[in-house]
Structures are given as C-alpha cells and as structure tokens.
Structure 1
Amino acid sequence: MTHTDVVRITRRDGIAHLTLNRPDKRNALNDDLIATLDAFFSAVDDSIRAIIISGAGGHFSSGLDLSQHVAREPLQVMAHSRNWHRVMALLAQSPRPVIAAMTGAVMGGGLELAATCHVRVAEETVRFQMPEGMRGIFVGGGGSVRISRLIGADRMTEMMLTGRSYSGAEGERLGLAHHCVSEGHALAKAFELAENIVRNSPTINAFIIQALAQIATMPPEAGLYAESLTAALSQSGPDAEEGLRAFLEKRAPVFR
C-alpha cells in the first residue's frame, strides 16, 4: 500500500476524518501509516477545525505491526520509537481537537495513538489491552507517559504484566474513554462532538488543548501564572468580544 492507501482522508464542514485503512491487519501501525499521519498533521489545512480518527473493518488499531520488527538493532529500535514520539506529539499538541472513534481492538500502539487524542469515544465492545509484556517487548509510542497519565502507572503496570483487557464501559470508568456508546455508534458520536467543537473559537480550542497540557506539568504557582496569562490573551481578543455580544443578543456566536 502507498501512504495514501493506508489512511483514507475525507473533509466535510471543517472536519477532517482520517480512517486507518489496513483492515486485514486490524489496522496495525506500520511505517507507512505513521508517515501518513506525520504528513497530514504537519500541514493541516486552515479550513479544518476538528479531526476524527477511526479504523476500517471494525477495529481501531491492534497496535504495532510486529512483522516489521522481527530483527532490529537497539539503536534502530530507539530511533524508530523516537520517530513515533515525534509524530504522536503532532497529534497531542495539535491546535485542532482530535477525536478518536474507537471500535474493536484498541491495543498496544493503537491505545498509545488513542491516548494522544483529546476526546475519546469507545463502543461498549471495544477491547483495551496492552499486550507488550506477553510479546517480550516494551511500549515505544509514548504510552508510558500518556497512558500512565490517564489511568496511573500502577494500573498500566498491571495491564502490561497480565495482558488484562478492558471493555469500552470499563475503559470509560478508568479514563481511557470519555464517552461509551453502543456498538456501531462511535463514529456518529464522534461527528456529533466534532460538530459542536467546530462552533467554538479556534483560538480558544487551541488554548484549551495546549495551555492545559503545559499547566499540568508545571509547579502550582507557575501553572497559575500561565493560567492568568492565557486568560488575559483569550479575554482581550475579538473572539471574547463576539462571545459576549452573542450572549447578550441571545444568539449563537460566530467565530472566525
């Protein structure tokens, strides 16, 4: 498959929909797929205000394509992992909200990919799992940081040691998903959420994503200072003026 084959990309009303398209491999993440994500998130069109990621064939992603990793030297593995970190950071730091519509297998690297997304929708039949311990490998796509932040290092340790899997409903309770829906409804819910999100100010969406992520890693006083600075920037701009005017005029705001 070429890079354009492994991820289908459609655009509609300010929403880009990326479909991981390796259904015969349960959308296992290979180098071509990661390169396609890299190319897309490195040059997102200005007309796009929200992004949805889903998987073809009933699965989000079964994780790393192990067929590409049978024999690599340690430095090669490290370089590969660091490239994943760079690409995953493009998603996590995207000023445009990224929504994961999760179905079927959300395992290993697939869960690492989902953890970079700002909003996560899971179907009840989803299977969350970190099977690396059973494969004799360690995570390499950022999961030790991002998944641990979602569910705690203790829970992630247990998942990796035992290979334990969680359903969509269990994942929602743990923090792996924000919304749990019945089978067949994840994508519709993701579009519903995206359609609401694109009505927000693009600037404020970016502040919410990027400022909160940075503040979470700061000492409390530094975080509070950053909060005040972000508030000052947001409340002195044209979007705040439009939002207030729309509220007083009892209409929906129109942000540019």
Structure 2
Amino acid sequence: MTLIKREIDGAIATITMNRPEKRNAMSDAFIDALEEAFTTLPDAVRVVILTGTAGHYCSGLDLTEHKERSAEEGIYHSRNWHRILDQIQLGGRPVVSAMFGAVIGGGLEIAAATHVRIAEPSTIFQLPEGRRGIFIGGGASVRVGRILGADRMTEMMLTGRKYNADEGLRLGLAHYAVAEGEAMELARTLAGKIARNAPLSNYFMVQALTRIEDMSKSDGLFTESLCAALSQTTPDAQEGLHAFLEKRAPKFR
C-alpha cells in the first residue's frame, strides 16, 4: 500500500496520508514517505493540501511499531521528526490541512506545522502522550504550545483532554469549522485563492512570520522591512499595483 498519495492539479498538490487500517498512524516509513512527498514537489506547485483518508486525518504515533530506544537514539528520532515537519512549515509553500476524525498526538503536530487548518465536525484534537508514559517529540511543545499557550497545553496533556472542531476553532487549532464532508471543498477553494497570490509574497508569509515571532521587537520590525523592500521590487508588485488601479484581477508570474 502507498502510505502517502500525491496528486497534482496545476499549481495545487494534494497529499493524502493513507494508512486507513491504522487511522493513518505514523510509522518511520510513513514519516519518511511524507517527507519525500513534500521535498520532491515540482516547481509549478504553489500550494499543498494535506489530508487523511477513511475518516481520519492522522492518529499519531503507531504504538504497535514503537521501538525501545536509548536516549541517544530517541533524540535523533525526535530531531528527524522536527526536520521533516520543518519541511512542511518552512518549505516555502503554503499548506492547507483538511481535517476530520483523529488529529491526535503526532497528527496534531503535523497539523500545527501547516498554515491553514479546516476542521469537520468529526475532528478530535488530543495530545495523549502522558497516558502512554511518553512525551511529545514532534514539535508540539513549540507549535501547539504557541497556539494554546503553555498553561492550557499543560492541562490538555495532563488530563488527556479532547477538543472537538468548534472548540479547536475557538482555541486556534483550526481556522475554519465546516460541515461534514466539506473540508476538502473549502481547502480547494482556499488553495486556489492562495495560489493566485504573488509567489514571493506567499514565500515571505510562510518563511518570515514564524521567525519574526522568535525575534525581539526591533529585530522583527527590521526583518519585516527587508521582506517589504524585497517584495515591492518584483514585477509581481508592479502587476499588483497596475491591476488595482485598472480595477482588474492581477496576473502574477
């Protein structure tokens, strides 16, 4: 079985996590295939939709394949996950998550690395690692922690609390809550809108904003100025201005 499926339609790629018998749980082969799906995208692809199959987005680590590791092996394993999820968040292309069913553990870590998140009513957000005697290792302490704040995330992990789609929307785990079966439709609509943006503007939004969050105020403002100055020198910036003045839709390169 193909663990990760990929379809390309013009400027939009759809990547589907595909272990239906395991609720798309993550094995080492699964996460390696996910990396390959992102790192081998053609240059023509501007936006990615990431989703699951058979009613679930991703249920996290496949505990049936969980191996005992030394501390040294464990840190290398965790850091590999960090590297791969960085490819999703900082690879330069906006990623839209169409979510339903389990968005649990590592699945939530994957979702938090994406830039636009859409949740159907069946969506369940959870970080159950504490109930398994383990700790998050795929970046949740940073990505999910920045969404929820350390206090709420601590409670979520201590109690194994589950959040539904509406709660996730309110907390920022999702940006949109839609009816059952509508996540992919909205994902395609939003991906099409994003793909029509100027490529360099999209690139800066994906690359710069999360880094600016790590910076001091003065460093962040300076970085913002650099991004603004570089983007406004491009032909796309001229096209955007002319299109506005001529009351038409811009046609970016």
Distance in 1 (CA, whole Å) between partners of 2:219 and 2:5 is 42
Matches within 5 A, 1:99-248: 99-248=96-245
Distance in 1 (CA, whole Å) between partners of 2:232 and 2:68 is 54
Q: Does residue 59 of structure 2 align to residue 56 of structure 1?
A: no
Distance in 2 (CA, whole Å) between partners of 1:44 and 1:179 is 26
Distance in 2 (CA, whole Å) between partners of 1:44 and 1:9 is 9
Deviation at residue 94 of structure 1 after TM alignment: 1.9
Aligned to 2:40: 43
Deviation at residue 223 of structure 1 after TM alignment: 0.7
Deviation at residue 79 of structure 1 after TM alignment: 1.2
Instruction: Read off the aligned partner of 2:154 and give its amino acid letter.
Output: T
Q: Does residue 15 of structure 2 align to residue 18 of structure 1?
A: yes
Distance in 1 (CA, whole Å) between partners of 2:219 and 2:207 is 15
Deviation readout 1:147-176 (Å, 9 max, x if unpaired): 001111111111110000000010010010
Distance in 1 (CA, whole Å) between partners of 2:155 and 2:185 is 33
Instruction: Read off the aligned partner of 1:245 and give its amino acid letter.
Output: H
Distance in 2 (CA, whole Å) between partners of 1:19 and 1:226 is 35
Deviation readout 1:40-65 (Å, 9 max, x if unpaired): 22232111010011001000011011
Distance in 1 (CA, whole Å) between partners of 2:178 and 2:239 is 34
Instruction: Read off the aligned partner of 2:14 and give its amino acid letter.
Output: H
Distance in 2 (CA, whole Å) between partners of 1:182 and 1:94 is 30
Instruction: Read off the aligned partner of 1:90 and give its amino acid letter.
Output: Q
Q: Does residue 109 of structure 2 align to residue 93 of structure 1?
A: no
Instruction: Read off the aligned partner of 2:220 and give its amino acid letter.
Output: G
Percent identity, please. 54
Instruction: Read off the aligned partner of 1:244 and give its amino acid letter.
Output: L
Deviation readout 1:199-219 (Å, 9 max, x if unpaired): 101111001111111111110
Listed as ranges, the gaps of 5+ residues in structure 1 are none
Distance in 2 (CA, whole Å) between partners of 1:66 and 1:10 is 29
Q: Does residue 26 of structure 2 align to residue 7 of structure 1?
A: no
* CA RMSD, Structure 1 to Structure 2 (Å): 0.9
Q: Secondary structure at the match of 1:216?
A: helix
Instruction: Read off the aligned partner of 1:203 and give its amino acid letter.
Output: L
Aligned to 2:63: 66
Instruction: Read off the aligned partner of 1:20 and give its amino acid letter.
Output: M
Deviation at residue 78 of structure 1 after TM alignment: 1.5
Indicate conservation of the 8 Å contact 2:15/2:37, yes or no.
Answer: no
Deviation at residue 74 of structure 1 after TM alignment: 2.1
Instruction: Read off the aligned partner of 1:128 and give its amino acid letter.
Output: F
Instruction: Read off the aligned partner of 2:45 and give its amino acid letter.
Output: I
Instruction: Read off the aligned partner of 2:54 and give its amino acid letter.
Output: G
Distance in 1 (CA, whole Å) between partners of 2:84 and 2:67 is 22
In terms of mean alpha carbon deviation, does 64-73 or 174-183 score higher? 64-73
Deviation at residue 132 of structure 1 after TM alignment: 0.4
For normalisation by structure 2, the TM-score amounts to 0.98
Distance in 1 (CA, whole Å) between partners of 2:82 and 2:133 is 21
Deviation at residue 183 of structure 1 after TM alignment: 1.2
Listed as ranges, the gaps of 5+ residues in structure 2 are none
Instruction: Read off the aligned partner of 1:239 and give its amino acid letter.
Output: D
